[in-house]
Structure 1
Amino acid sequence: MQQPFAEDPRDDPLDDFTARSITLDSATRTVYVSGTGPAVIVMAEMPGISTDVARFARWVRDAGLTVYMPSLFGRDGAYPDAAEGRSVFERACVSAEFRALAANRSSPVTRWLRALANLAHHECGGPGVGAVGMCFTGNFSLTMMLESSVLAPVLCQPALPLNDPGALEISAGELATVRQRMERDDLVVRAYRFEGDRFCTAQRFAAYEAALGSRFEGRVLPAGAANPSPPPFFEQFVDCPHSIVTAHLIDAAGEPTREARDEIIGFLVELLAAASS
């Protein structure tokens, strides 16, 4: 049996969130909830709800929205250590809940996430729900548009499937349904990647554009805009500009990553909070 990894003094206690045990679709997960106003589902990248993911969730909350941050993998609040992060990644890649290596198929966990969006909408009200996915969960925000409450999807560096840089992690039928809905309801999906990202490539963005046309609004940040000193997991195992709003974000005036973060939050507020006021 694998021994648990030790806590790190840099871990985030997440004590300004309410940890709720939520059962949906016959599965129970911990969801960290904080804020007031319309709901946004914030889905963590590898290796889980890290200190940087929690920081982004707080920015969303402080913009006047309610964050629902489900625990999907990893140790919640953990600083992204290299060895622990690698262990989390390896387990997720073989989990039946995720389709890490399967093109044109949606991960089963997206059914649970769609149910969470529906619940969050009923609890928080407003015109609908936002969804922000990152890396391993990046495309989940698009698949979640099969749930009618999801109005503001954001894809940050969608990395699946890992073994096919030009493929999408969603079935053809679901993709067609999502596009029809976007056309009918006049919706768009925002997506972000770094130039030179080996996990979210230019080919993948081209595939999204081919599938969704003008409903796909992709943004590519220069590689040189990435934080050169990310936490150990990213430094050792990602080894390229990748995490737009977390590990590779530089929180300083004039930085492209901060501007991308502000654009994402502005998109969420415009479609959710501003529309409900």
Structure 2
Amino acid sequence: MLSDYTPTEFTHDGKTKPVYVRGHGPAVIVIHEIPGITPNVTRFADWVVDAGFRVYMPLLVGEAGRDVSVGYVLKSLATICISREFHVLASHSSSPVTDWLRALARHAHEEAGGKGVGAIGMCFSGNFAMSMMMEPSMLAPVLSQPSLPFPIGAARKAALHVSPEELTCLKDRCAKGGKLLALRFKGDVTSPGERFETLRRELGDAFEGIEIDDKYANPKSPEPKPHSVVTEDLIDEDGQPTKEAAKRVISFFVERLKTA
């Protein structure tokens, strides 16, 4: 499914990572979930391309194009837990990889042009789009099942995995017209409802949260419980809540990046 994408590399501050690029129009950075760029992550990216955007898919962990399996998930999870680029238990600081992602956003904006850049993070990367708001070109941040910090204890369940400086920037930009969209399944304990409550309290009307009943998850998903809203647990049929959520993400990109 990646055959239509151009494999490139992007380097910032001495760190080089693969990036898969496709499409024309304003840039949207699609940041994969655990275990990596799976076929269903690529399917979602294809929908963004079809809507008239230039997609940049960085590979942060795992292998590009490999299917989901239990062993593959565990291997990728172990990688992020020990990597210095990801701080999986940090409540009030972001993962260091977000600095590289902000630089990628600047590069994508310079290359693709337009009003600005959008980004969607999923699962372990779900919170990253908030940190990326420190980059002025980031106009359309989306959080899909944001799972960091790992929700061990009440404080971490409600935490946002951003630094105080990043949260202040996010709130300031939202006060000036910025918006943030987030998605989760209602029963997802890895992306707890307390996190959405924090976002509503901190951002007010600038926050749009979509919470889907678990019964609408794909029954054929490899996930043990409903989790991946726009990928593994999505039912690809119009009218299905997960498919409508994916459509809302794309319309959010259109509103923020294309509408005058």
Q: 1:44 aligns with which of 32, 35, 39?
A: 32
Q: Aligned equivalents of 1:270 and 1:166: distance in 2?
A: 29
Checking the alignment, whether the CA contact within 8 Å between 1:25 and 1:111 is kept in structure 2 is no
* Correspondence list, 1:135-154, <5 A: 135-154=123-142
1:118 aligns with 2:106: yes
Checking the alignment, whether the CA contact within 8 Å between 2:133 and 2:169 is kept in structure 1 is no
1:202 aligns with 2:187: no
Question: Which residue pairs with 1:188 in the alignment?
Answer: 179
Classify the secondary structure of the residue corresponding to 2:258: helix
Tell me the CA shift for residue 36 of structure 1.
0.2
Checking the alignment, whether the CA contact within 8 Å between 1:52 and 1:247 is kept in structure 2 is yes
Q: Aligned equivalents of 1:272 and 1:204: distance in 2?
A: 26
Tell me the CA shift for residue 168 of structure 1.
1.4
Q: Aligned equivalents of 1:93 and 1:57: distance in 2?
A: 26
1:28 aligns with 2:20: no
What is the total number of aligned residue pairs between the two structures? 256
Checking the alignment, whether the CA contact within 8 Å between 1:64 and 1:273 is kept in structure 2 is no
TM normalised by structure 1 equals 0.90
Q: Aligned equivalents of 2:55 and 2:244: distance in 1?
A: 21
Checking the alignment, whether the CA contact within 8 Å between 1:30 and 1:71 is kept in structure 2 is yes
* Correspondence list, 1:71-86, <5 A: 71-86=59-74
1:223-258 deviation per Cα after TM superposition (whole angstroms, max 9, x unaligned): 111111213xx2xxxx22111100000001210001
* Correspondence list, 1:99-248, <5 A: 99-162=87-150, 163=152, 164-184=156-176, 186-231=177-222, 234=223, 239-248=224-233
Checking the alignment, whether the CA contact within 8 Å between 2:28 and 2:56 is kept in structure 1 is yes
Q: Aligned equivalents of 1:211 and 1:99: distance in 2?
A: 22
Q: Aligned equivalents of 1:222 and 1:116: distance in 2?
A: 34
Q: Aligned equivalents of 1:225 and 1:22: distance in 2?
A: 38
Tell me the CA shift for residue 25 of structure 1.
2.3
Tell me the CA shift for residue 274 of structure 1.
3.6
1:264 aligns with 2:256: no
Point out where structure 2 has 5 or more consecutive residues left out of the alignment: none
1:255 aligns with 2:248: no
Q: Aligned equivalents of 1:261 and 1:244: distance in 2?
A: 8
TM normalised by structure 2 equals 0.96
What RMSD in Å do the two structures reach over aligned CA positions?
1.0
Classify the secondary structure of the residue corresponding to 1:19: strand
Q: Aligned equivalents of 2:208 and 2:251: distance in 1?
A: 15
Checking the alignment, whether the CA contact within 8 Å between 1:25 and 1:115 is kept in structure 2 is no
Tell me the CA shift for residue 60 of structure 1.
0.3
Tell me the CA shift for residue 22 of structure 1.
1.2
Q: Aligned equivalents of 1:153 and 1:69: distance in 2?
A: 15
Tell me the CA shift for residue 70 of structure 1.
0.2
1:106-164 deviation per Cα after TM superposition (whole angstroms, max 9, x unaligned): 00000000000000000011000000010100000111000000000110010000122
| Deviant stretches of 4+, over 2 Å | none
Classify the secondary structure of the residue corresponding to 1:192: strand
Q: Aligned equivalents of 1:137 and 1:98: distance in 2?
A: 9
Question: What percentage of residue pairs aligned between the two structures are identical?
Answer: 48
Q: Which sits farther off after the overlay, 79-88 or 144-153?
A: 79-88
Tell me the CA shift for residue 38 of structure 1.
0.4
Classify the secondary structure of the residue corresponding to 2:4: coil
Question: Which residue pairs with 1:9 in the alignment?
Answer: none
